[in-house]
Amino acid sequence: MISSRNAGLLTASALFIFMGYTVNIWLGFLSLPLLSGLILSHYFNQSQQPLKQSISVNKPLSAKLQELIKNQQDSYNNVFLENPNNFHQSTFHYDWWMFPQEAPNFASETSRKFSVNDQEVENLLRHNQFISTYEKSIKKYLDNLEVHGWNHYDIRYAKMVISLHKFICVSGQHNITDMNKRLKNLAQRAIKFAQSNIKHPSGLLQQGLAQLMKEVNVSKKTPKITPRFNNKENNKQNLAFPHISPKKQFRR
């Protein structure tokens, strides 16, 4: 039998153990919010650091570039895709936004309206929809000329070459490496076609090809020029940026 003294000791021991267990539980409950807060704070800080590094602020496009891209998409869908065999012909007019470039002061009103400087070209290079369509348009244009032959529409080819040179230069300056490489591949095709098929290029096309060849390190000579106009300034103005009414931008 357990004496009353021993029974008292056992009861006291049990009570002490129970109280210690209860205190530990309460301390555990009290420490959970603090521990949870520390854990959440750690992971939050870890997740925020790379997020800050990956965020890049994209400047909104100007109204001019938005209109240029809209016109590009309209021409691509309504002309290139709906007229796959003859969209490259002079019947259609879309060069201002399909092959953007920086227009001189003497150019037509429409050419000046959609003229793009280096900063605007960089914005277009970083606009996925535009640059994807730009690349596809040049490919399709060269494809058609290679299949159907040279159509003697010199001004369009010159604008394409000058635009391509501009986009290659700007993409190289801003380390847009992948697109720079792909555009240079298109430039090689454009130069090769011109050398093989365009026997009497205009002065504008001759100059554009020379610049493009230098940019992509092509050493072959461009075709010999045969002047087609007596008035040098009129030749330059009319050939480079002929004025076409906006109502005739492209045939639907």
Domain segments of the chain as ranges: 1-55, 63-248
Going by C-alpha positions, the residue among 171, 60, 59, 158 that lies closest to residue 111 is: 158
Rounded (5°) CA angle 15-20-23: 125
Given 3.20.20.140, 1.25.40.380, 1.10.3720.10, 3.30.420.40, which CATH number is that of 63-248? 1.25.40.380
d(CA 168, CA 171) in angstroms, rounded, equals 5
**pLDDT band for position 175 (50/70/90)?**
very high
pLDDT in tens, 196-231: 999 999 999 999 999 999 999 875 554 444 444 434
pLDDT in tens, 101-151: 999 999 999 999 999 999 999 999 999 999 999 999 999 999 999 999 999
